Amino acid sequence: MKFQDREVIVFAGDSVTDADKYNTGDRIGTGYVKLIRDALTAFEPQNLYKIVNAGISGDNSADLLARWDKDVDAYAPDTVFCMIGINDVWRHFDELDPHKPLISEEDYEKNLREICKRAKKYKRFFLITPYFLERNRQDEMRMLTERYVQRLYRVAEENGVPVLDAQKAFDEYMLSRAGQSISWDRVHPGPVGSMILARLILKG
User: Interface with a second copy includes 20 (CB under 8 A)?
Assistant: no
The residue ranges of DSSP E strands in 106-171, in sequence order, are 124-128, 163-164
Residue 99 falls in the annotated catalytic set: no
Q: Given the complex with a second copy, which of 110 and 199 has the nearer CB atom?
A: 199
Among 58, 69, 76, 92, binds a second copy (CB under 8 A): 92
Distances (CA, A) of 189 to 45, 65, 73, 107, 140: 27, 23, 26, 25, 20
The helix/strand/coil state of 141 is: helix
Q: Given the complex with a second copy, which of 48 and 66 has the nearer CB atom?
A: 48
Q: Given the complex with a second copy, which of 66 and 178 has the nearer CB atom?
A: 178
Q: Which x/- pattern over 130-169 shows residues binding a second copy (rule: CB under 8 A)?
A: ----xxx-xxxx----------------------------
Euclidean distance between CA atoms 61 and 109, whole angstroms? 9
Q: What is the CA radius of gyration of the chain?
A: 16
Distances (CA, A) of 201 to 11, 26, 163, 190: 11, 21, 10, 16
Residue 69 falls in the annotated catalytic set: no
Q: Given the complex with a second copy, which of 39 and 74 has the nearer CB atom?
A: 39
Q: Which of residues 25-44 bind a second copy (CB under 8 A)?
A: 34, 38-39, 41-43
Residues in the chain: 204
Q: Which of 14, 15, 18, 59 is catalytic?
A: 15
Mutual angle of helices 140-159 and 86-94, in 10-degree steps? 150
Q: Which of 18, 59, 188, 194 is catalytic?
A: 188
Closest listed residue to residue 102, CA positions, set 136, 132, 144, 158? 144
Residues that bind a second copy (CB under 8 A): 6, 34, 38-39, 41-43, 45-46, 48-50, 90, 92-95, 98-99, 134-136, 138-141, 173-178, 180-181, 184-185, 191-196, 199
